[in-house]
């Protein structure tokens, strides 16, 4: 961290620890201080953003005549459109921010123009760009870039700087080229519809064309993929839900669709209950690539701040304050968007509190969320991870159960029963053997290939039933597992803790790294000031990685084992 940034943060009432930024006044009591004004936030983000500029300028490709001249490479040394776009977002934010040492700096004008020239050079004739890792001639990825660059364009165009005329004109060419694919191109995923629609609204606001709005209406005509809980179809809490919020906010704002603003409000209200005490969000129920991934609330920042101001919502303001204080370095990409709109100059409400005392069930998402201050509990339906438990910094990231039953003994609830005191999950499976194909239908040539196993009679059918009952009382959780059916089947119950802490009361698994057994009594996991105690243990075999169950997760896994019929109860506190 350079001294200029350090001094600014000190003057702003923020102290620094490692790579994270923490306020002198803890985020748990934000009402103790006045809300941070947007100008103060912009100053803070600008200082952080400015630090990136010199390194990016050094990395800009300088090979005249090369296709990627003016572009940037990623960590894999692959030049690509998205790294080049990020370069323009950083430089554009620095150029437009009055707090920046690069404000209106001629030093950034040519690099910006070379970058957009590169983007135009690699843009296909149909207006699309490529996502090198998977999508080529991609309308959705073109739409993402249009959305990222639109606030940069809006901020820099109104500055009317002579040195930016080349950049502005070429960026307009890029948008107009992109309009060709946005009007007719296809998508892959649910959120792509809203990303494309937002890009269409952006281009329409710059270059009005009724065909652009017609295409937005075509996508919106399919209906919004939001369940009654307020969650989007992909349930991607750390990636695509906040993206959808930003896109619906943009469409609603630019095309005067107030009903879309209410869609965003619903998701923001629900998401309050998906936030962990440290600013992480629950990702275990996601249907996308962030499932069980360590994700943060940071991408919700733009929408939470917008509606905190519009609605004067103190809880939304509290989320903004949490993000600003815990992870400001992760939201600098919003700098041009904050500079773009006058709404962000209006007063924020005094921050309230993010909910931290509740029992809340989201039945359509299959999530039960419980908060008792710094104790944070997630009970998850239809998921191998049926429980996650946090005590401050100590994290049990996953509890799973499995048996070596015909290669399909991983517990994943098929039925859930909720009452006022407990949750009961149930699962069952069968394991048959198969008879010869009936004489009247067999061909005698290769009937194994000709007929599926469903065409065969079954015999010696084995059955397995698992029941998991979870009870919570003021932060203490009891979990009882019972497995019946075929006898003498090996069972392993996994408690997976995040790396970084210290386990006690357990013995190492000699066959598997970072795996342990709780043979008896109580175990504990400690990280910093926080400890999770668990037990009692029981171990009758030491086979932790059983056939048909999921591989051990990243982290420290503790196992309790046995044989069917199996019945055991443990506690977490």
Taking residues 119-123, report their average pLDDT: 98
pLDDT at 9: 45
Per-domain residue ranges for the chain? 3-355, 358-572
User: What is the C-alpha separation between 238 and 275, in angstroms, rounded?
Assistant: 10
- Checking if the pLDDT of 5 tops 80, the result is no
Tell me if domain 3-355 and domain 358-572 are identical in fold.
no
Q: Model confidence at 38, in pLDDT bands (50, 70, 90)?
A: confident
- Show the tokens assigned to 60: 């800009």
Contact between residue 533 and residue 476 where contact means Cβ atoms under 8 Å apart: no
CATH number of the domain located at residue range(s) 3-355 in this protein? 1.50.10.100
- Show the tokens assigned to 41: 């936030």
358-572: CATH topology: Beta-galactosidase; Chain A, domain 5 (2.70.98)
Say which range, 99-113, 127-141, 183-197, 447-461, has the weakest mean pLDDT.
447-461
Buried b / exposed e over 507-529, threshold 16 CB at 10 Å, is: eebeeeebbbbbbeeebbbbbee
Q: Model confidence at 291, in pLDDT bands (50, 70, 90)?
A: confident
Residue with tokens 């920042």, as numbered in its chain: 301
pLDDT at 36: 75
Q: Which string of DSSP letters, residue by residue, matches 400-448?
A: EEEE-STT--B---SEEEE-SSEEEEEEEEEEEEEPPPPTTT--SS-HH
Report the share of the chain in percent with pLDDT over 70.
94
Contact between residue 201 and residue 216 where contact means Cβ atoms under 8 Å apart: yes
pLDDT in tens, 384-429: 999 999 999 999 999 999 999 999 999 999 999 998 889 999 999 9
Q: Model confidence at 19, in pLDDT bands (50, 70, 90)?
A: very low
User: Angle 240-255/258-271 helices, nearest 10 degrees?
Assistant: 150
Alpha-carbon 464 to chain mean position: 35
Q: Model-level pTM? A: 0.91
- Checking if the pLDDT of 478 tops 60, the result is yes
- Checking if the pLDDT of 3 tops 70, the result is no
- Checking if the pLDDT of 17 tops 60, the result is no
Neighbouring C-alpha atoms within 13 Å toward the C-beta of 386: 30
pLDDT in tens, 315-358: 999 999 999 999 999 999 999 999 999 999 999 999 999 999 99
In terms of residues, how long is the chain?
A: 573
**Cis peptide before 536, with omega less than 30 degrees from 0?**
yes
Q: What is the largest CA-CA distance in the chain?
A: 88
pLDDT at 201: 98
Handedness of CA 122, 124, 128, 134 (dihedral sign): negative
Q: Model confidence at 146, in pLDDT bands (50, 70, 90)?
A: very high
Q: Model confidence at 37, in pLDDT bands (50, 70, 90)?
A: confident
pLDDT at 34: 61
User: What is the C-alpha separation between 289 and 293, in angstroms, rounded?
Assistant: 8
pLDDT at 22: 27
User: What is the C-alpha separation between 394 and 438, in angstroms, rounded?
Assistant: 59
Report the share of the chain in percent with pLDDT over 90.
89
pLDDT in tens, 199-258: 999 999 999 999 999 999 999 999 999 999 999 999 999 999 999 999 999 999 999 999
Q: Give the chain's radius of gyration (CA, Å).
A: 27
Phi, psi at 355, each rounded to 5°: -50, 130
pLDDT at 24: 26
- Checking if the pLDDT of 543 tops 80, the result is yes
Instruction: Tell me the average pLDDT of the chain.
Output: 93
pLDDT at 28: 38
User: What is the C-alpha separation between 27 and 324, in angstroms, rounded?
Assistant: 10
**Nearest partner of 559 among 489, 466, 495, 478, judged by Cα:** 495
């Amino acid at each position: 961290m350079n001294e200029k940034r350090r001094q600014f943060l000190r003057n702003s009432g923020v102290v620094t620890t490692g790579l994270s930024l923490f306020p002198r006044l803890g985020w748990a009591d934000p009402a103790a201080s006045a809300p941070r004004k947007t100008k103060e936030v912009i100053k803070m983000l600008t200082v952080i953003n400015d630090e990136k500029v010199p390194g990016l300028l050094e990395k800009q490709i300088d090979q005249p005549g090369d296709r990627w001249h003016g572009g940037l490479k990623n960590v894999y040394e692959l030049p690509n459109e998205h790294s080049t776009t990020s370069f323009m977002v950083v430089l554009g934010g620095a150029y437009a921010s009055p707090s920046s040492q690069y404000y209106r700096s001629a030093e950034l004008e040519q690099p910006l123009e070379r970058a957009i020239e590169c983007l135009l050079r690699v843009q296909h004739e149909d207006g699309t760009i490529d996502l090198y890792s998977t999508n080529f001639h991609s309308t959705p990825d073109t739409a993402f870039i249009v959305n990222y660059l639109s606030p940069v364009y809006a901020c820099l165009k109104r500055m009317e700087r002579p040195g930016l005329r080349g950049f502005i004109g070429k960026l307009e060419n890029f948008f107009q080229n992109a309009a060709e694919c946005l009007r007719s191109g296809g998508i892959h995923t649910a959120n792509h519809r809203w990303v494309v629609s937002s890009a269409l609204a952006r281009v329409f606001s710059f270059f009005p064309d009724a065909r652009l709005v017609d295409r937005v209406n075509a996508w919106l005509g399919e209906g919004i993929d939001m369940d009654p809980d307020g969650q989007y179809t992909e349930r991607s809490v750390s990636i695509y839900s906040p993206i959808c919020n930003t896109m619906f906010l943009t469409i609603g704002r630019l095309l005067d669709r107030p009903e879309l603003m209410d869609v965003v409000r619903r998701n923001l209200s629900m998401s309050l209950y998906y936030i962990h005490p440290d600013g992480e969000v629950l990702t275990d129920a996601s249907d996308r690539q962030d499932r069980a991934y360590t994700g943060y609330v940071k991408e919700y920042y733009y929408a939470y701040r917008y509606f905190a101001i519009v609605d004067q919502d103190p809880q939304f303001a509290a989320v903004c304050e949490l993000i600003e204080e815990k992870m400001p370095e992760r939201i600098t990409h919003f700098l041009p968007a904050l500079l773009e709109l006058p709404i962000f100059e209006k007063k924020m409400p005094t921050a309230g509190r993010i909910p931290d005392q509740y029992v809340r069930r989201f039945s359509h998402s299959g999530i039960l969320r419980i908060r008792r201050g710094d104790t944070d509990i997630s009970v998850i339906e239809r998921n191998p991870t049926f429980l996650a438990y946090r005590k401050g910094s100590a994290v049990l990231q996953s509890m799973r159960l499995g048996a070596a039953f015909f290669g399909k003994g991983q517990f994943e609830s098929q039925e859930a029963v909720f009452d006022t005191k407990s949750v009961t999950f149930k699962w069952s499976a069968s394991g048959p053997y198969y008879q010869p194909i009936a004489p009247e239908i067999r061909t005698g040539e290769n009937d194994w290939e000709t007929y599926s196993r469903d065409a065969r009679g079954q015999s010696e059918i084995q059955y397995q039933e698992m029941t998991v009952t979870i009870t919570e009382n003021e932060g203490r959780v009891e979990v009882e597992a019972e497995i019946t059916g075929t006898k003498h089947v090996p069972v392993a119950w996994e408690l997976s803790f995040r790396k970084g802490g210290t386990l006690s009361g357990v013995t190492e698994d000699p066959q598997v790294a970072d795996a342990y057994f709780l043979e008896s009594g109580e175990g504990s996991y400690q990280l910093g000031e926080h400890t999770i105690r668990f037990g009692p243990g029981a171990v009758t075999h030491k086979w932790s990685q059983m056939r048909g169950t999921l591989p051990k997760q990243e982290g420290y896994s503790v196992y309790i084992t046995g044989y069917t019929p199996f019945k055991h109860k443990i506690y977490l506190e």
